[in-house]
Amino acid sequence: MRVIDVVIVGAGFAGLAMAGALRRAGRDDIVVLERADDVGGTWRDNTYPGVACDVPAHLYSLAAHPNPHWSRTFASGREIQAYLRDVAAREGLGDRLRLRTPLLGAEWDATGAIWRIDTDAEPLAARSLVLACGRLTEPHVPGIPGLESFDGPIFHTARWDHDVDLTGKRVAVVGTGASAVQLVPELAPRAGHVTLFQRTPAWIVPRGGGDIDPAARDHLAAHPGALARLRADLYAEGELRFASRSGDPTASDAARAVALAHLHAQVADPALRAALTPDYAFGCKRVLLSDAFYPAVGSDAVALEPTALSAVDGSTLTAASGARYAADVLVLATGFASTQQPYADLVRGEDGTLAAHWSEGMTSFGSTVVAGFPNLFVLNGPNASLGHNSAVLMAEEQAAYVVGALAERDRRPDSVLRVRAEAERAYTDEIAAAAASTPWLTGGCRNWYVDDRSGRLTLLWPGTVRAFHERLVGTDGSEFEPAHTPVRGCEVGGER
């Protein structure tokens, strides 16, 4: 069996960023596994009406593949998906990209110092394995009594059923997070009526933006320096938002005032306004951007139920308040299984599965490498998400770290990188200390950044992108155990 240098799992932003970084470093012996029939990850799977990014498009793109042709400030899901297809083509992955090839299992072979990987096609062997599976891949379906009894179409926003005609239908939407805020304004003029179940209101700030004039696009295409400056300006704006999201009193108060002014300007009814006002700290949950949500909720087309959906009986939906509603279609805008990654059960290291290692919440060193899992790298995993800037920037920083770590691997006689357990514990403690006083832990809300099993912040990086960059480039290899004398070697591209 040929041993591949690096196998990457996932062909979304992180996986494509990783593949590109490796190829630019002269590492062409790679394979990218993708379970679906196309690249794109989140932007392939989420096709609900109104789906778009809430990070400016010129920043929500790879540094190696700037795109002067974005048509809107905040790109639609379809346009981002087209961009990622173009990135894959420009990277020239060819047969290195294997679509419709899911990861079924991966196990570390200590004797051969390789990862043995099961797919639904041929088994693979790799010197290093990169998990770029994303954190928003598996829809969260809440355990609502009687949900299975609903007698009409029911689906999650991430599995939108385009065969269902919503025209004139009574549509119930469960959740008021990022997906619902985009979806409800699209449903309001189409459906007969929308009932919106809100467990917790969100802090919402103005979105702004809009179409980008074709002349402006042409200018950016003709002047790469102007595009680079725009990206730098957007990056700086994003970094400034960290203060308001992380609990700086002055910045948080100012941002909260903006959100409340936005609410007051768009919702005239005092009772409705009160129901839409959060009672937790600004930044505790994901801050949303919308200019259309409040007007939609305030219209006759939408009824806000300010409590959660608690039971379903056929077409009758009962809220926690006791109120009952009839619906023809039920849409779950209930988020994802973000803190317990589905791939973790499939990956077995030296002492057990990744799921077992993460049984009390995800841990790592550098948000990228994990003790007990040699030559394994995780992108978009523990503490690699952001609440203030483009997450693509974090994936690019991680990809650069992986390239450097692989160079260190190649310098070792055993070609194995084992993370010291002490290094992982110290990094975990570092994260905990930085997060301890932030709204994510103290702000009085329940959010998807914190693992309920331990109460630790396991999704967000509690700092700026610049701080993450400095943390990773400041590593010196001491996070890894000293090299061991190899028991048995495997040549890259050789036979076992």
Residue-wise pLDDT for 191-208, tens only, equals 999 999 999 999 999 999
Report the pLDDT averaged over residues 434-459.
96
Helix ranges restricted to H, 267-390: 270-275, 293-297, 354-357
CATH superfamily of 3-137+337-473: FAD/NAD(P)-binding domain (3.50.50.60)
Q: Spell out the domain ranges in the chain.
A: 3-137+337-473, 147-203+267-332
CATH number of 147-203+267-332: 1.20.58.220, 2.60.40.420, 3.90.1170.50, 3.50.50.60? 3.50.50.60
Say whether pLDDT at 494 is over 60: no
3-state class of 66 per DSSP?
A: coil
Burial 446-474 (b: 16+ CB within 10 A, else e): ebbbbbeebebbbbbbbbbbeebbebbee
Spatial contact of 177 and 286, defined as CB atoms under 8 Å apart: yes
Q: Report the chain's mean pLDDT, rounded to a whole number.
A: 95
d(CA 262, CA 255): 11
Q: Under a CB-based contact definition with an 8 Å cutoff, are residues 72 and 79 in contact?
A: yes
Contacts of range 21-25, beta carbons closer than 8 Å, 24 or more positions apart: 21/64, 21/396, 21/399, 21/400, 21/402, 21/403, 22/399, 22/402, 22/403, 22/406, 23/91, 23/92, 24/64, 25/403, 25/406
What pLDDT score was predicted for residue 337? 80
Q: Name the residue among 40, 53, 36 with its Cα closest to residue 12.
A: 40
The whole-number average pLDDT for the span 72-100 is 97
pLDDT at residue 116 greater than cutoff 70: yes
- Quick one: pLDDT at residue 495? 29
* Cα 66 versus chain centre, distance: 20
Specify the DSSP element, H or E, that contains 124. Answer: strand 124-131
Q: How many CB atoms lie within 10 A of CB 195?
A: 22
The per-residue pLDDT for range 377-409, each reduced to its tens digit, is: 999 999 999 999 999 999 999 999 999 999 999
pLDDT, mean of residues 277-304: 98
Rounded to whole angstroms, the Cα distance separating 181 from 259 reads 15
Q: How far apart, in whole angstroms, are the C-alpha atoms of residue 198 and residue 273?
A: 13
In the chain the first and final C-alpha atoms are separated, in Å, by: 6
DSSP state of 299: S
d(CA 134, CA 7) in angstroms, rounded, equals 16
By the 8 A CB rule, do 173 and 333 touch? yes
Q: Same CATH fold, 147-203+267-332 and 3-137+337-473? A: yes
Residue 486 has pLDDT above 70, yes or no: no
For 312-370, how does the pLDDT look when each residue is reduced to its tens digit (9 = 90+)?
999 999 999 999 999 999 999 999 887 888 899 999 999 999 999 999 999 999 999 99
Kindly report, residue by residue over 157-175, the tens digit of the pLDDT.
999 999 999 999 999 999 9
Q: What is the mean pLDDT of residues 284-305?
A: 98
Report, as an integer, the average pLDDT of 101-114.
Answer: 97
Residue keyed to tokens 């005239």: 268
CA-to-CA distance for 415 and 117, rounded, in angstroms?
18
pLDDT at 493 over 60: no
Task: 142-147: list long-range contacts, CB under 8 Å, 24+ apart.
Answer: 142/174, 142/309, 142/332, 142/334, 144/309, 144/310, 144/311, 144/312, 145/310, 145/311, 145/312, 146/311, 146/312, 146/313, 147/312
Put simply, whether the predicted model's pTM sits higher than 0.85 gets the answer yes
Burial of 206 (0-12, 13-18, 19+ CB in 10 A): middle
For 400, half-sphere exposure in the C-beta direction (CA atoms, 13 angstrom radius) is: 16
Give the angle 449-450-455 at the CA atoms, nearest 5°: 170
pLDDT at position 437: 97
Per DSSP, 478 falls in state T
pLDDT at 296 over 90: yes
Q: How confident is residue 38, by pLDDT bands cut at 50, 70 and 90? A: very high
Share of the chain above pLDDT 70, in %: 98
pLDDT at 485: 56
> What is the largest distance, in Å, between two alpha-carbon atoms of the chain?
73
pLDDT at 496 over 80: no
Position 488 scores a pLDDT of: 41
pLDDT above 90: percentage of residues in the chain: 93
Please report which residue ranges of 10-136 form alpha helices under DSSP H. 13-24, 42-45, 77-90
Mean pLDDT of 442-453: 94
What is the pLDDT at residue 47? 97
Q: What burial letters (b/e) apply to 131-144, b meaning 16+ CB within 10 Å? A: bbbbbbbbbbeeeb
- Residue 279 predicted with pLDDT over 80: yes
Amino acid at 137: T
Phi, psi of 40, deg, nearest 5: 125, -20
